[in-house]
């Protein structure tokens, strides 16, 4: 029998006769196959918990300390790079938020709209080593050195200038909107201040100026021009008169008041020579090579408050203007859609270029705006990048307020039907 044979393999000290009898007895008492099966499946005895641990092979132990030190070094480097700042400042996508919730006025009726105008920001923090590495890997982030971002200014001066530009935008935008709607407004000439010295040659990525006009040797951004060639300068029109009779290559004496850390703390007066260059539009006329800040003051029929917090820069001017036009008139300026807008606005309604537009396009995409109105004066490379991010059909480049209104009319807004409701305003 199969059962007898199995049992015989387990007992080898008995005689053949005894085996036979034992097999018959056990067979009658138990199921032999079951007994064998159970015995075969018993777990192996566990090793003693008190067994001495085996030490690594001496050949392997030689690598233990260097490996541990390498791990500690990597950890320390990672920790240090996450808290130590380096000479890098980001230009990264910021936010795209509605303007109307930041705007307040009480003198006239307000017309809430279903659509909204979004103004767009760029984030520009000082980076730690780890953040700089992450930003370097992110195609939506540009990194600038301190010199590229601030030039010869301090961060505090740059911030003060940015807030001043934002204050100008918050004054200019209401002036443009109210004038467009027929309200009584007035301009008051301001100081003649250098906005920036022009660049003659820029790097391929347009992030660095390789060569400035000769005026850069003396003039700085924020300088108030007091006199040119001994002639007092009180308005920008005085500059042309002071340069009459001069030509490119001449050196003319300038007296300026340097920009201070704040408006209440102006810098010292200084006098120096500025070399004139040929005017790019007319080589027969001399050219300083500077842009002047728009310091004109405006008088409005009523107060319009725009809360921008710590956000600086003039790039929201067009967005502020369009929002106020929408809030002062019935109907939907944007056709009920969400429209992002960027660009400066001057008192004549001209739209100017801004910085960080590629990062702003990313913020606009994240916000889900159906249209992005941008300055036509941006570089071809900037405009191409924005269209690549959003799609050409969602980007409209404009040079004036009227062109922006025409773009909104094409998407269903009443931008060309606003009229002049302010012409009857008496206060």
Question: What would the 3-class secondary structure string for 162-178 be?
Answer: HHHHHHHHHHHHHHHHH
Task: Using pLDDT thresholds of 50, 70 and 90, give the confidence band for residue 90.
Answer: low
Q: Average pLDDT for residues 57-65, to the nearest whole number?
A: 58
Q: In this structure, what token pair is assigned to residue 253?
A: 């004496």
Q: State the pLDDT at residue 417.
A: 93
In the chain, the percentage of residues whose pLDDT exceeds 90 is 44
Q: State the pLDDT at residue 265.
A: 79
Q: Is the pLDDT of residue 284 over 50?
A: yes
Q: Is the pLDDT of residue 95 over 70?
A: yes
Q: State the pLDDT at residue 93.
A: 81
CA dist 118 and 371 (Å) reads 10
Q: Tell me which of 340 and 78 has the higher pLDDT.
A: 340
State if pTM tops 0.85.
Answer: no
Where does 190-295 sit in CATH, by number? 2.30.42.10
Greatest mean pLDDT among 45-49, 96-100, 175-179, 192-196 lies in 175-179
CA dist 129 and 421 (Å) reads 56
Q: In this structure, what token pair is assigned to residue 374?
A: 């941008």
Q: State the pLDDT at residue 149.
A: 63
Q: State the pLDDT at residue 33.
A: 37
Comparing CA positions, the residue from 109, 74, 100 lying closest to residue 319 is 100
Residue 152 CA, distance from chain mean position? 22
pLDDT, the chain, mean: 79
Task: Using pLDDT thresholds of 50, 70 and 90, give the confidence band for residue 306.
Answer: confident
Q: Average pLDDT for residues 158-170, to the nearest whole number?
A: 56
Q: Is the pLDDT of residue 163 over 90?
A: no
Q: Average pLDDT for residues 64-76, to the nearest whole number?
A: 62
Q: Is the pLDDT of residue 310 over 70?
A: no
- Residue pair 418/332 in contact by the 8 Å Cβ criterion: no
Q: Is the pLDDT of residue 166 over 60?
A: no
> Using one digit for the tens of pLDDT, what is the confidence trace for 204-250?
766 678 889 999 999 998 899 999 999 999 999 999 999 999 999 99
Q: State the pLDDT at residue 293.
A: 84
Task: Using pLDDT thresholds of 50, 70 and 90, give the confidence band for residue 134.
Answer: low
Q: State the pLDDT at residue 195.
A: 87
Class of domain 94-122+154-183+301-427: alpha beta
Q: State the pLDDT at residue 86.
A: 73
Q: Where in the chain is the domain with CATH 3.30.230.10?
A: 94-122+154-183+301-427
> Using one digit for the tens of pLDDT, what is the confidence trace for 30-45?
443 333 333 334 444 4
Task: Using pLDDT thresholds of 50, 70 and 90, give the confidence band for residue 316.
Answer: confident
CA dist 303 and 178 (Å) reads 11
Q: What is the DSSP string of 228-295?
A: ETTEE-SSTHHHHHHHTT--TT-EEEEEEE---SBTTB---EEEEEEE-EE-SS-TTSEE--EEE---
Q: Is the pLDDT of residue 72 over 70?
A: no
CA dist 131 and 83 (Å) reads 9
Question: Which residue, chain included where needed, has tokens 């320390």?
Answer: 76
Task: Using pLDDT thresholds of 50, 70 and 90, give the confidence band for residue 295.
Answer: confident
Taking the CA atoms of residue 62, residue 67, residue 69 and residue 75 in that order, the dihedral angle to the nearest 10 degrees is: -170
CA dist 340 and 318 (Å) reads 10
Q: Where in the chain is the domain with CATH 2.30.42.10?
A: 190-295
3-state secondary structure at position 92: strand
State the Cα angle at 146 between 142 and 148, rounded to 5°. 60
Q: Average pLDDT for residues 22-28, to the nearest whole number?
A: 43
- Residue pair 357/342 in contact by the 8 Å Cβ criterion: yes
Q: State the pLDDT at residue 12.
A: 45
Q: Is the pLDDT of residue 161 over 60?
A: no
Q: Tell me which of 27 and 366 has the higher pLDDT.
A: 366
């Amino acid at each position: 029998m199969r059962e007898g044979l199995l049992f015989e393999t387990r007992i080898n000290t008995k005689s053949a006769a005894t085996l036979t009898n034992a097999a018959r007895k056990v067979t009658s008492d138990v199921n032999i196959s079951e007994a064998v099966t159970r015995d075969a499946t018993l777990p192996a005895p566990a090793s003693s918990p008190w067994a001495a641990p085996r030490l690594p092979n001496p050949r392997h132990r030689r690598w233990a300390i260097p490996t541990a030190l390498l791990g500690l070094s990597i950890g320390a480097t990672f920790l240090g790079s996450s808290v130590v700042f380096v000479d890098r400042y980001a230009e990264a996508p910021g936010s795209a938020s509605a303007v109307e919730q930041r705007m307040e006025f009480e003198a006239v009726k307000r017309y809430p709209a279903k659509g909204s105008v979004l103004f767009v920001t760029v984030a520009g923090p000082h980076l730690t080593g780890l953040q700089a590495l992450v930003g370097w890997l992110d195609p939506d982030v540009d990194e600038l050195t301190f010199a590229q971002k601030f030039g010869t200014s301090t961060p505090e001066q740059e911030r003060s200038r940015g807030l001043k530009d934002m204050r100008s935008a918050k004054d200019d935008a209401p002036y443009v909107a109210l004038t467009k709607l027929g309200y009584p407004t007035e301009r008051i000439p301001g100081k003649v201040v250098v906005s920036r010295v022009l660049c003659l040659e820029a790097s391929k990525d347009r992030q660095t100026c390789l060569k400035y006009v000769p005026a850069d040797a003396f003039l700085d951004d924020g300088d108030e021009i007091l006199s040119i060639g001994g002639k007092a300068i009180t308005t920008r029109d005085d500059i042309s008169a002071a340069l009459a009779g001069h030509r490119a290559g001449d050196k003319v004496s300038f007296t300026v008041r340097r920009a201070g850390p704040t408006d209440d703390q102006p810098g010292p007066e200084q006098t120096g020579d500025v070399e004139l260059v040929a005017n790019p539009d007319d080589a027969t006329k001399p050219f300083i090579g500077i842009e002047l800040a728009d310091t004109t003051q405006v008088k409005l029929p009523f107060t319009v408050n725009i809360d921008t917090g710590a956000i600086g820069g003039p790039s929201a001017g067009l967005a502020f203007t369009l929002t106020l036009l929408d809030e002062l008139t019935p109907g939907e300026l944007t056709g009920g859609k969400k429209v992002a807008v960027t660009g400066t606005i001057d008192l004549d309604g001209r739209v100017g270029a801004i910085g960080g537009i590629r990062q702003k396009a990313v913020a606009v995409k994240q916000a889900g705006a159906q249209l992005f109105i941008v300055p036509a004066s941006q570089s071809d490379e900037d405009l191409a990048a924005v269209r690549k991010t959003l799609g050409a059909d969602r980007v409209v480049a404009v040079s004036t307020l009227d062109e922006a209104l025409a773009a909104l009319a094409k998407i269903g807004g009443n931008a060309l039907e606003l009229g002049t409701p302010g012409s009857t305003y008496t206060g």
